[in-house]
Structure 1
Amino acid sequence: MTFQDAAVAHMVEEIEWNEEQLDTLNYTSEHTLVLTTVRDHTVPVSVLLYEEKPALALEQYDHVVECGLTMHSNTAVLYGVIDALADRRRIPLAAGLYGVWLCYQNLNSIDEFGLEGEDCYTILLWKENTRLPKRILKQALPT
C-alpha cells in the first residue's frame, strides 16, 4: 500500500528493497510511504489524521514503525499495487511535515498459505515541526 504526496504521485519511484526495509515491512522516502502487507490480497487499511501526536496503545499492535513524511501539495494519494490510476484515493492533507506510525495488527491470524487472515493496517499521521527519523517501536518479525 503506497501513501504519498500527490505532487510526486505521477513519478515512478524505483524501489530497490534492502534487508532493513524487508525486515521492517516498509519503505520510506521524503514524500512516499510504502506499507508492505503480509498477505498479497485486499486487506483493510485505515488512515487516521491527528492535530497533534496521539497516544499510542503499542500493546494493540504486532508491529509499529515511526517515520516522517513531507507534503508539498495539499493532497495525499493512497493506492495498492494493482490499483488503476482512477482508483487511487485522494485524501486532503495540508502541506508540511508529518510524523507517521505504520501499525500492523493481527499478523498471527494469517493461515499457513498466507491467503486467509484478519490482519489489518493503520497509518496514523500528525503535524510535526521536524522530520522524524525512521525507527522501529515494536518488531513483529525476526530480523
Structure 2
Amino acid sequence: MSVRRFEIFADYFQFYVCDETYVTDTAALWSSDSDPMLAVGPDLIAIGTVRNMLVPVELEILHAEPTPDPSAWDQVRDCGLSLASGALIMFGCTDDPNEALRIAVPAGDYAARVSHGGLDTLSEDGLDGDDRYRIQLWPGAVRPVTVVKGHA
C-alpha cells in the first residue's frame, strides 16, 4: 500500500484524479442532475469539495479492495477509472495538468473509493474548515458510481 498526502487548490470547488493522457472534457462532465461531489469520466474522476481553497487530500494506492470504513466519513462513493499510461496525476481545475506530480502505477483499470469527511465543519465565511478527501485506488474493473454512504 502506498499513501500520499497533498494539499490541492480546489478552485471552483473541485479537483481531479486522472490518467496523465486523459481526454475527458471536464467542462462537460458536471451536469445539473449529477452528484455535486463526484463526476466520473472513463479516465478522470472529478471530486467536488465544500471549499474553494487548499484542501487536504489523501491518495491510497492499494493491491486489493479495502475494507469499507463509512463511519469515519460523511459520504463515500465507489467508481473507477482507466489509467492507460501508467501515470496518475492530481490537480485543481485551474492548475496546469502538465505541472502536476506524476505518480507511477501499473497501467490498467482501477476501482476507486472516494470519501469526503468534515463536510459540516465550515466556518461561517466558508474559507476554513476541517473537510478532508480520500481517494483509494486498487486494480479492478471500472465500476459505475455507487453510493456506499450518502451525506445527510
Report the counterpart of residue 6 of structure 1 in structure 2.
20
Aligned CA RMSD, in angstroms, stands at 1.8
Alignment partner of 1:49 is 2:61: yes
List alignment gaps of at least 5 residues for structure 2.
1-14
The equivalent of 1:139 in structure 2 is 150
Unmatched 5+ residue regions in structure 1?
none
Q: How many residues align?
A: 138
Distance 1:98 1:16, change over 3 A: closer
TM-score norm. by structure 2 comes to 0.82
Runs of 4+ in 1 over 6 A off after TM superposition: none
TM-score, length basis structure 1: 0.87
Deviations 1:24-76 (A, max 9, x none): x1110100001011101001011101001011211000011100111111101
Could you say what secondary structure the match of 1:65 adopts? strand
Name the SS of the counterpart of 2:90 in structure 1: strand
Identity among equivalent positions (%) equals 25
The structure whose residues are more often strand, as a share, is 2
Question: CA separation of 1:70/1:16 partners in 2, compared to 1, >3 Å: closer, same or farther?
Answer: closer
